[in-house]
Amino acid sequence: MDLSNRTILVTGASSGIGRAAAILLSGLGARVILTARNTERLTQTLGLMAAGDHVIEPFDLKDCEAIPQWMKELAERNGPLFGLVHSAGIEESGAIHTRKPEATRRVLCINLEAAIALSSGFCLRGVRSASGGSIVFLSSVMGLVGQPRKSVYSASKAGLIGLTKSLALELARQSVRVNCIAAGLVETEMTKEMLRLLSPAQVEAIRAMHPLGFGRPEDVASAIGFLLSDDSRWITGTTLVVDGGYTAH
């Protein structure tokens, strides 16, 4: 896989899968634009990456209406983008009858609405590379299967899968591929915090649902690199399941 001379924007690059993706992409020769809210953590990510002309561009994706214009300004400062990886996301659990509307909107905003706004910005004149490009969304196995207390999160991730299919058809004539990754439980800081709230027996029950065990951020980052590279040039509109066998049950 070779991403030399290609500029790729990675959201959620301050931790977890987004950080692992940025590190891997830099090793494949890409010039990576790192974005998240926390500048200090983005700087930490930058320090872990292979040498290159990478840049930090802090931004709060909750401001969805501002995303397309921000991306236009981003391209003016850094040149056109070849790739977009939307790794930023919120995972919240809770019974549906206890959910507050503002909590629901928060999850849908970052997980799904921001993805739509980022795609819109990516397609603006001067933002995307003239040669085409590749978009990768980070969905979840929760977008494919159900689980109690995950309704809103599952809805947001299932929405990404539908968005992927339609956008792939819409943007194919512009030589832009759109794909999605449905990840199982990956041991990021966020999921480790979640697991700490469970009993050892509950954690082992969840682990048993993953025949190959829990994943690492690098496992998903490798799939991201593949979908951005020319090695996947004939793949678009698909959801690549990277889940250690979770959905094989």
Distances in Å between the Cα of 80 and the Cα atoms of 94, 132, 141, 149 are: 41, 10, 32, 41
Confidence (pLDDT) at 111: 98
Does the structure show a pLDDT above 90 at 180?
yes
2 occurs within a structural domain: no
246 occurs within a structural domain: no
247 occurs within a structural domain: no
Total domain count for the chain? 1
Confidence (pLDDT) at 201: 94
Confidence (pLDDT) at 176: 98
Contact partners, residue 87, CB within 8 Å, separation at least 6: 10, 11, 12, 13, 16, 17, 18, 21, 138, 224
Strand partners, 32: 8
Active site residue 246: no
Mean pLDDT of the chain: 96
95 occurs within a structural domain: yes
Task: Report the distance separating Cα 108 and Cα 92, nearest Å.
Answer: 11
Task: Report the distance separating Cα 19 and Cα 47, nearest Å.
Answer: 11
pLDDT, tens only, 6-34:
999 999 999 999 999 999 999 999 999 99
Confidence (pLDDT) at 92: 83
Where in the sequence is the domain holding 120, given as residue range(s)?
7-240
CATH number for position 83: 3.40.50.720
Marked catalytic residue, from 122, 137, 153, 246: 153
pTM (2 d.p.):
0.96
pLDDT, tens only, 109-164:
999 999 999 999 999 999 999 999 999 999 999 999 999 989 999 999 999 999 99
Q: How confident is the model at residue 192 (pLDDT cuts 50, 70, 90)?
A: confident
Amino acid, res. 27 = G
164 occurs within a structural domain: yes
69 occurs within a structural domain: yes
Nearest alpha carbon to residue 9 among 114, 159, 157: 114
Distances in Å between the Cα of 185 and the Cα atoms of 106, 217, 231, 242 are: 21, 10, 26, 9
pLDDT, tens only, 77-105:
999 999 999 999 998 888 999 999 999 99
Kindly provide the residue ranges of all beta strands, DSSP E only, lying in the chain, ordered along the sequence.
Answer: 7-11, 31-35, 55-56, 83-86, 133-140, 176-183, 239-242
Task: Report the distance separating Cα 229 and Cα 33, nearest Å.
Answer: 17
248 occurs within a structural domain: no
For 65-74, 171-180, 182-191, which range has the lowest pLDDT when averaged over its residues? 182-191
What secondary structure letter does DSSP report for 32? Answer: E
61 burial (CB, 10 Å; 0-12 / 13-18 / 19+) is buried
Q: What percent of the chain has pLDDT over 90?
A: 92
Total number of residues shown for the chain: 249
Confidence (pLDDT) at 132: 95
133 occurs within a structural domain: yes
Q: How does DSSP assign 120-173, residue by residue? A: HHHTSTTTB-TT-EEEEEEEEGGGTS--TT-HHHHHHHHHHHHHHHHHHHHHGG
